[in-house]
Amino acid sequence: HPRTIPSTPAPKISSHSGRPEAKMSKMKSQPACTVLLVEEDAAVREMLATMLRGQGLFVQSAASGSEAIAIYQQHAEMIAVVLLDVGMTGLDGPQTLRELQRIDPRVLCCFMTGGSGQYDDLALLAMGATYVFQKPFQVSDVVAVLKQMAPELTPDEGGRQA
């Protein structure tokens, strides 16, 4: 069963194949290898994107739920997992996830939350998230879970798609 960090290892989940971010090609044999980071706070978004890239991950950032949906509609094949803030103005995290699930019911998502909003961890997991990260969190914990969810996020493991 899905849990909040740092309890249990992520379940083995295969994701759909897609395009690598670097070339934006249509080579369907390549695995989805990008994290879609959705965070409305620009400073947090840029810091987290920089830290994830520093761990060798490809990152596409969105400042809002509607921007994330537009990016996902255009590039779903290359997005392995969505890292989604819960508390955003406009479409919040759960509303954004619902829209992403309409595009692809198999979308892999982790929520990030400060914990003071209207959703508790169990409700967020019930909405289809695999993990809920409580802010502040360690980026190394996030990277470990993302790589368990989508092993193709690590460039040298790209051929190990299920």
* Predicted pLDDT at 155: 61
* Predicted pLDDT at 152: 86
CA gap 42, 155 in Å, rounded = 27
The stretch 120-141 carries a mean pLDDT of: 94
* Predicted pLDDT at 7: 37
The answer to pTM > 0.85 is no
Query: What's the full length of the chain, in residues?
Result: 162
For residues 34 and 16, the answer to whether their CB atoms sit within 8 Å is no
CA gap 104, 10 in Å, rounded = 20
The pLDDT of residue 157 is above 50: no
CA gap 156, 158 in Å, rounded = 6
CA 45 to chain centre: 13
The stretch 110-122 carries a mean pLDDT of: 88
* Predicted pLDDT at 153: 84
The pLDDT of residue 11 is above 70: no
Phi/psi-derived region of residue 56, left when phi > 0, alpha when psi is between -120 and 50, beta in every other case: left
Say which range, 85-89, 140-144, 151-155, has the weakest mean pLDDT.
151-155
* Predicted pLDDT at 17: 34
